[in-house]
Amino acid sequence: MFTGIISDIGELTARKGGTFTIRCTYDPAGIDLGASIACNGCCLTVTSLMERGDNKPGCLFTVDVSNESLGLTSLGGWQPGEAINLERALKAGDELGGHIVSGHVDGTATLTGIRADGVSRRFTFTVPESLAKFIAPKGSVALNGTSLTVNEVEAASFGINLIPHTLTATNWGAKKPGDLVNLEIDLFARYMARMMEFK
């Protein structure tokens, strides 16, 4: 499980088939093989660890991405140089600063607009109709692994607000209209909708 609070911005350095190599600043001594790391919101398993190779703190790690994940998420379009929001798995006793995030991406949202709003920026997205029903004003969503609050909803579109800290501590500052981002709907919304099917 994760909280949607990004702790590092990694970089994709190589991909070969479904194997991706990511550079990060995490201490390799604190990462076990088989550990889970959310990469732009996708829970992926560390399969190997290596030195960064640039004399900077951190490491390289590899993950294997299934065909299902490549087709359902934005990962299929990743190329070397891609900036990736990273989050280590939640440990018992850690602060829950965002919301409960599983790392199981439901699909992608399309970034349709960005506009300034004081020191912040307002981002607008569209989603498939099958996912739109789970998104509500003032509810939570995870976009590229970031825990965010929904500001407004209109049909299959919704908006969020990003403060300056989030824009610099994640890969959001480089996003532009037309980009696909990974969307995980709120866990409680998913189960509530499922329960309503049986009423």
pLDDT digits (tens, 9 = 90+) for 7-53: 999 999 999 999 999 999 999 999 999 999 999 999 999 999 999 98
Q: Are 187 and 121 members of one domain? A: yes
Report DSSP state, residue 89.
Answer: P
Q: Is residue 2 part of a domain?
A: no
Q: Is residue 167 part of a domain?
A: yes
Closest by Cα among 160, 187, 189 to 3: 187
pLDDT at res. 199 = 66
Half-sphere exposure of 122 (CA within 13 A, CB side): 11
CATH number of the CATH domain containing 139? 2.40.30.20
Q: Is residue 154 part of a domain?
A: yes
Measured CA to CA, the distance from residue 44 to residue 46 in angstroms comes to 7
How many domains does the chain fold into? 2
Q: Residue 40's domain spans which residues? A: 8-88
- Is the pLDDT higher at 90 or at 21? 21
Q: The tokens of 109 are what?
A: 């949202």
Q: Is residue 69 part of a domain?
A: yes
How many other CB atoms are there within 10 angstroms of residue 46's CB atom?
20
How many other CB atoms are there within 10 angstroms of residue 101's CB atom?
25
Q: Are 112 and 175 members of one domain? A: yes
